[in-house]
Amino acid sequence: MAKDRGSFSKIGFILAAAGSAVGLGNLWKFPYTVGENGGGLFVLIYLLSVIIIALPVLMAEICLGRHTQKNLVGAYEKIKPKTPWKLAGYLGVLTGLMILSFYSVIAGSTIGYFFKAITGQFTNITGTQAIEIYRGFSSNNILQIFLLALFIFITVYVVSRGVSGGIEKYSKILMPVLFGILTLLLIRSLTLKNAAKGVEFYLKPDLKALTPGLIVAAMSQAFFSLSLGMGTMVTYGSYVAKKENIPTSAGWIAFFDTAIAILAGFIIFPAIFSQGMDPAQGSGTMFNVIPVLFAKMPGGIIFCPLFFLLLSIAALTSTISVLEVPVAFVVDEKNWDRKKAAYIIGFISILFGIPSALSQGGVKFFSHLPLIGMGFLELWLLIWGSIALSIGAFFIATFIGYAWKTNGAIRELKQGAENFKLGAVWAVAIKYVAPILILLILISSIL
């Protein structure tokens, strides 16, 4: 049965895919992960991972989606029917459900911070006060659960309305506005006292810090940030027309996403060092640093709420793409109604998100899990946001390299990109470089 699955316009696809990529991964996770991993070396390995591993995988996902016109499970099934490859698809669907559950906790916090900012609660605050405010906010259990549910509900509402809808339209305005505000913040941060120390921490690689753990963290950050390894870009790729140029689009998406992450670091680290704060303060970093920066800036009272509003929207365009993976699966494969699918899956991920919501300081058990020591959200981020995405990317690369075969994939890639010359290089990246590196990195980190 040929269902009308909806489709993106050219700019619509790049915006939606960039909207999926740009989110909390860039502005919240990237800076604190750099901080925890000692600075410059992490940034360097991150950039290498984006170019060598993530960009080829991004092209592969879009290509697989456009070729099969399917969600991840459907794509595996269409090319290799009735084989265990399908299980790799199920892993992606499950990963989507789990990422949505914890991601929406932090995304909910950005809404909470928008309200705090607009009601003037950050006027003239200092670093110590900001840390206190975040501690009080993040350990308020009822509020955390409420914001989690609210954020998922908004996501469900948008996804239930189908592909093109409003996101395309307002992304065109909002993305540049976000970029503008980030530039203002950049200027403010770089002109603070001691800013240079922050820049040095951020840019100067300390080779002694090299560990397998750091490499895994950098590689999986690249997958997380570019929304790879769970079929998001396969699903979005399935809405892309044959006349679109996949390599160019993928290049732009990777460029935007990386530029915003790098920019975020240039904002956060000078600010941290000028406040004499700890660069390794973990997942609260952004919430501790940004309000103080705005407090020191003319017009901060307007820009601060605007920043958190735009951040919520950036997070929303990401959660939409995460929810779209399980929804497209049940709509395509199980013939569910889209609206029903979005509501049911949304509800399940709220339930799964509750332990993460309680792990931000509100409930001791979830904030410091016995034996493991880390909080539940951190653990989920590690399992689903790092390991599962890396395994998923490994499956996608090997599937295209060995089951579908790269010749077929290159033919698909060349549609809409007739003068794309790097097919052979891309094939080597997908067949050998990406899978071998992913496997080596994962195994060495386990050892």
Residues that bind ligand PHE (CB under 6 A): 20-21, 23-26, 99, 224-225, 227, 230, 232, 318, 321-322
Query: Residue 358 Cβ, how far from ligand PHE at the closest point, in Å?
Result: 22
DSSP-derived 3-state class of residue 80? coil
Residues 181 and 306 sit within 8 Å (Cβ to Cβ): yes
Q: 336: left (phi > 0), else alpha (psi -120 to 50), else beta? A: beta
Query: Residue 360 Cβ, how far from ligand PHE at the closest point, in Å?
Result: 18
24 or 293: whose CB is closer to ligand PHE? 24
Q: What is the 3-state secondary structure (H, E, C) of 132-167?
A: HHHHHHHCCHHHHHHHHHHHHHHHHHHHHCCCCCCH
155 or 225: whose CB is closer to ligand PHE? 225
29 or 431: whose CB is closer to ligand PHE? 29
Burial class, 420, CB count within 10 angstroms (exposed 0-12 / middle 13-18 / buried 19+): middle
- The alpha-helical segments, DSSP class H, found in 206-245 are 212-225, 232-237
Which two tokens mark 130? 């900001």
40 or 385: whose CB is closer to ligand PHE? 385
Query: Residue 113 Cβ, how far from ligand PHE at the closest point, in Å?
Result: 16
Residue sitting closest to ligand PHE (CB): 25
25 or 291: whose CB is closer to ligand PHE? 25
145 or 230: whose CB is closer to ligand PHE? 230
Residue in this structure with the two tokens 């409930």, named with its chain if needed: 363
DSSP-derived 3-state class of residue 123? coil
Sign of CA dihedral 140, 141, 143, 148: positive
Sign of CA dihedral 113, 28, 150, 316: positive
Give the torsion through C-alpha atoms of 187, 306, 107, 237, to 10 deg.
Answer: -80
114 or 224: whose CB is closer to ligand PHE? 224
23 or 355: whose CB is closer to ligand PHE? 23
- Name the DSSP letter for residue 280: T
| Size of the chain, expressed as the number of residues it contains | 447
Which two tokens mark 277? 């704060």
CA distance 86 to 83: 6
392 or 416: whose CB is closer to ligand PHE? 392
